[in-house]
Every structure is written in C-alpha cells, then in structure tokens.
Amino acid sequence: MKKRLFAAVASLAVLIGSALPVSAEGADDKNSDLASGAKSAILMELETGTVLFEKNADEKLEPASVTKIMTMGLVLEQVAAGKLSMDDMVTASENARSMGGTEINLDKGEQMSVYDLMMSVAVASANDAAVALGEHITGGSEDAFVDMMNRKAEELGMNNTHFENTNGLPADGHLTTARDVALMTRFLLSFEQATEFTATNRYPIRSDTNEYMMRNSNALVREYEGCIGVKTGYTKTAGHCLSSAATKNGMTLIAVVLGESDSKTRFQESKDLLDYGFAKYELYRPEVTFEQTESIPVKKGVVSRVEVVSPSTEIAPVLIAKGTQPEVEVHTQLEQSVTAPVEQGSAVGTTTLILDGKEVGRYEYTAKTAVEQRTFIESMKIVFYKMMTM
C-alpha cells in the first residue's frame, strides 16, 4: 500500500542534548565511589526502567527479607483483581507461628486482617505475617504461594531468581540478584497502595488487646527526603540488604544494595546512589500533537471510507542527563488507502518519536470500525450504477 508523509518531519528541534537509551546500556558502573561496600548494587529509574548504575548486578545472592517485596506485590495483585480484601481476616497456622526470626509473635489460630499483616510485613519485616498471608491466598499452602512467587518472577523477567519461601529465611537455592530485586520493586510499586505500607514509619497492631507499636526497619523513611520505602533484609549469610525508593521532582529512583557489611553502610550507600541519580538525571516528557484525520478510503469494501482513531496513549517519558534538552523529531505516516476486509482496531498509520536520532516511541492510528469486503454481486451493482450515471 502507498503511504504518505503527513508531517514530513514535524521537528520539535530543541537545541542540543543527549537522551539516555531506555536500557542498561546507559548504566554508569565506572564510579567506584558508589556502593563500594556492597557485593552487588543497582540504581534504576522506576517509570522507564533505565539503569543508571550497576555493580555485579547479575550476581546471584541471598536477599534475606528483601524477598518480602514479592510477597507484598502478590498480595496487592490479588486485591487489585478483586480476589482479596484488606479487611479479610487471616487465621494464623502452626506453620506461620513457628517461623521465628523477626516476627509479630502470631499465635496459632490468631486472626488478623490482611491490612494489619501487610503493615507487619512492610514495617516490622515479620516472617510469620508473610507466611500467614501466603497461606491465606492459596488456601493453606505456603509452597503453593512460593510457586506463585516463582511464576511471577519469570513473568517479570527476573531470570536469575528462585524463591524457596515467602520471607527470605535462609534456604538452599533461595537466590536473586540486584537487577531482579529492582524489577520486583517496580512490580510492587506499580500498585498505588504499596507506599501506604512501605513508607509508613510507625504502626500499632493488636490495639484491642496488647498493643504493640511497630517501627519501620528502613531508616530511610525517616532520614531521606522523598523516600517511599521499600524493604530491608538481613541474615548472617546474606549480609545487610536494602531495596529503597524515593521520589523527587516527578521522578522515582530505586536503589538496591546486597551483601553490605553493616546496617549503617547499607543506608548510607543507598542514600549515595539516590543522590547520584537525582543530581545527574531527570525525566523528559516530549510534547507531541497527533495528526487528526477523519477517515481514509477503503478499496473493495462495503463502504468507501473508514474513520481513523488517533493515538490516545500518553507519551512515555524519557530519561535524560539533567539540564539538557534532546532534539525531538515526530514523523507521522498514514495509509493512503486500505483494502477490505479491514479489522476494527487494525493499524492504519503510525507516529514515530525520535530523540537525538534514536526511536523512543511508536504510536498507532487505528480503524474505528471493521469494513467487510464487497461480494462479487455488490461490486457489479456499483459498476452498473456508475455506468448508468455517466
């Protein structure tokens, strides 16, 4: 099919600049001052997934309680799907009660709401609460919930992760990487309610009996401006771990450090990573106006034209070096005509967004309705009508 260029180059040329590619290729792993004490680390921008810094980011390590990020994400996914309510009451099993380590001391048979258990996981890093939530979702089987965790990890592209439990207690084969932790942190933060739990500093449980005030194990929620959580972790073999996130000027960064020697260092090096990202990068949102076209011709169709739906998708932001502006080009092409049959929603044109010579977005124009192909008899009727009106 022939095509025409509606906007030859609708060039929004905005001086000189350099847009970062939305991939790990933009990572700066040469700054030896960052995360020097961590075995593995990564800094990622939330919305685009751009990696700004990495150090041994694909080395498989124990995550300790950072594991609970996936547990919380799956709970919120169940809530979003309408399969679970924050007001649902969960009954603790003997298995949950027996977890040990950091816990809220659930008794067998004790009932607590999903909401309070989520707070217990996010704020107090409670192992027993994580197990209770997993068992509740799967009808009593922690193993079944762990299977859900591993399936979700595969779905998210966490290619170097395998979970053995819901909470990160030491177990053979329970491993992940800094990159994969960043990916599951993005998954958790994709739910708007996530920060209601992860950014909470203090929260009381058992207010009707023996009230206990939990305090967030992540010091950054108190010490770092814009921090929205996310999760600490520690075991003797894993070392001190942390996945943290903060938002400033409309941009959210995720910093992951694994295998730090002490808690103070993990918090300081996470701050340093976040400071580095906010100082050097920012999100750029190109302003693009899509061409408006009412319809295009249809060949061999039961109707002669089909209406065109312009792209309605919000233009995705691009991460750029702070203080620069990229050169933006917008190319729009629409089909000169289409041939029936035409499916509703089928592409009839595109707008391509190019920053500094690199394609960063493609948006489709689509057919508003389906158009069936004319039959032979219908075609003959049209020919006959044209002959009679000549």
Active site residues: 65, 68, 125
Element (H, E) at 255: strand 251-260
Q: Using alpha carbons, select from 94, 69, 75 the residue that is nearest to residue 137.
A: 75
12 CB neighbour count, 10 Å cutoff: 16
Burial class of residue 1 in the structure, from the number of CB atoms within 10 Å of its CB (0-12 exposed, 13-18 middle, 19+ buried): exposed
SS3 label, residue 205: strand
Amino acid in the structure at residue 136? H
CB burial readout 93-126, b (16+ within 10 A) else e = bebbbebebbbbebeeebebebbbbbbbbbbbbb
Residue 134, both tokens = 């997993």
Rounded to whole angstroms, what are the CA distances from 155 to 82, 117, 148, 159? 21, 26, 10, 9
> d(Cα 205, Cα 119) in Å, to the nearest integer?
9
